[in-house]
Structure 1
Amino acid sequence: TMYNMERGYLQRKIYSPTMGASLKSIFLKHTKMFVDSTVVDMEEVKRAVTIRQFDDSVTRKIFGYRTVQEYYRMGSSSQRLLDIKRPFLCLSALDDPIAVEWCIPRDEITENPFGLLATTSRGGHLGWFQGFFSQDRWCTKPLEEFCLAMFKADTRPISKSPEYLKYN
């Protein structure tokens, strides 16, 4: 999806700089935490304009990645979808301007017998609003129903042991 953020005009000129400025603003409010940091260069952060520039100057360094591309690659869930051994639901809007349709890892989701992909024609990136002026999102209801059905179908005894919490 970061490739897409640098590809289209709106993504390059509006979405990425807007989200980059937002991330930078939040980060700069907490500069006290990084005063003695040898990891983050504050001048480099201040020069960051796009999401990629912010991630390159802050995020990848904090998490120990050598490059921003390595951070994006390793941070992507798509490379782990085939290893999931519990039912999971992926919900995606086909009009999402950031996580565009061709970015959906369809093969990985459908190859996993536990995977379920649900797409909607509209919904945007953080959308699925119930109406044009509504702040309520309709997607919470089917997501809640999916989670409740999974909890109901899980007949294993409840345990707090670490073994129970394993993903495999």
Structure 2
Amino acid sequence: MPIIKSHYNPPLIFKSGHISTIHAGLYRIVSGIYQKRERITLSDQDFIDLDWSYAAYHKNVSKLVVILHGLEGNAQRSYIKGTAKIFNRNGYDAVGMNFRSCSGEPNRLFRAYNAGASEDLREVIEHILTNHPQYSHIVLKGFSMGGNLLLKYLGEPIRVPKEVKAAIAISVPCQLKGSLDQMSRPENYLYNRMFIKSLQGKLLDKHASFPSLIKLEDIKNANSMLSIDNLYTSKAHGYKDATDYYKKCSSKQFIPNIKIPTLLINAKNDSFLSECCFPIEEAEGNENFYLEMPKYGGHVGFFGEGEAYYNEKRAFEFATLV
């Protein structure tokens, strides 16, 4: 589809990509959302925790939004709760999917999650359709790394269930190597160190549970995202190395095959995204894929006046229109 013209124009201070990113990540509080946890067992006997919230003042709800968080996030993040809140208030139940190891408890296996683990999303949707059959209208929304996983899932050869009607992806590094290079820039130093420290903590948990599979010294020496992906992410998930992982899991290559209405919103001042993370040609070549590139917004920022942020209003609007 043609590129969508964006009308997002935040207050002056939030025209800074960094302020938008930091404020949304550290200072935003979303109240009035009460989540109920469901643990499901996957086919490999690992588990995933789902955090549910429900439509306010509605009975016999048949609509559901499934929300995917970003790297080292969880379903309690404000961007997850903000999305759940606007959909709950408009007749949708909501479920936040915590990726393996992200719900506050280490997962059972040596593997955890990665940017291309679409098999886990597939199992979650199958679980929902089997155990919660009242949902005949499902909308998917993914943020950052979770958005990459979502777009990959939608464009893979395996059929997407008919109940999945639309998808929205926000701030997506759809070319993983390009985003990695961007994260290595000086302007992203603090973000980069935050992710590395968090991931190293997860690797220490893996060493405690699987000391023969990952060495303490190697974890201490893994001081970059690339080295972590070479040491653990790629090997634990069946890829040859980080380069192989980035190549096979980048969602940009899957966009031409998406067959349901899908909206991607990537801000032009998102410091996490390189130029190749804006899939303009792919959008122009796929009538089901809509690309909006606001001038402002930062990374998973998109400040909005009132309770709902811009990306949340746009997600609900898009889900309603399709």
TM-score, normalised by the number of residues in structure 1: 0.74
Alignment correspondent of 2:195: 19
Q: 1:75 to 1:28 in 2, by over 3 A?
A: same
Cα deviation, residue 33, structure 1? 3.1
Alignment correspondent of 2:304: 130
Q: Which has the higher helix share?
A: 1
Cα deviation, residue 128, structure 1? 1.1
Alignment correspondent of 1:155: none
The answer to whether the 8 A contact 2:207-2:215 is kept is no
For the pair 1:148 / 2:320, whether they are aligned, the reply is yes
Identity of aligned residues (%): 27
Alignment correspondent of 2:181: 3
Cα deviation, residue 59, structure 1? 0.6
Structure 1 CA distance, aligned partners of 2:286 and 2:200? Answer: 38
Greater RCO, CA 8 A, separation 6+: 2
For the pair 1:32 / 2:208, whether they are aligned, the reply is yes
Alignment correspondent of 1:87: 261
The answer to whether the 8 A contact 1:4-1:99 is kept is yes
Counterparts in 2 of 1:50-69, with a 5 A limit? 50-69=224-243
Structure 1 CA distance, aligned partners of 2:201 and 2:307? Answer: 24
Structure 2 CA distance, aligned partners of 1:135 and 1:68? Answer: 40
Q: In structure 1, list runs of 5 or more residues that go unmatched.
A: 151-168
Q: 1:106 to 1:33 in 2, by over 3 A?
A: farther
Structure 1 CA distance, aligned partners of 2:182 and 2:254? Answer: 21
Structure whose CA Rg is larger = 1
1:13-65 C-alpha deviation (Å, 9 max, x unpaired): 4332332112212332454332343xx33321221112111111111111111
Q: 1:62 to 1:10 in 2, by over 3 A?
A: same
The secondary structure found in structure 1 opposite 2:293 is strand
1:45-92 C-alpha deviation (Å, 9 max, x unpaired): 221112111111111111111110111111110011111111111110
Amino acid at match of 1:5: M
The secondary structure found in structure 2 opposite 1:90 is strand
The answer to whether the 8 A contact 1:21-1:50 is kept is no
Q: 1:35 to 1:147 in 2, by over 3 A?
A: farther
Q: 1:120 to 1:45 in 2, by over 3 A?
A: same
Q: In structure 2, list runs of 5 or more residues that go unmatched.
A: 1-178
The answer to whether the 8 A contact 2:252-2:279 is kept is yes
Count of residues in Structure 1 that have an aligned counterpart in Structure 2: 144
TM-score, normalised by the number of residues in structure 2: 0.41
Structure 1 CA distance, aligned partners of 2:296 and 2:269? Answer: 5
1:99-152 C-alpha deviation (Å, 9 max, x unpaired): 134431211122111110011111111211226xx99632111112212333xx
Cα RMSD after superposing both structures? 2.2
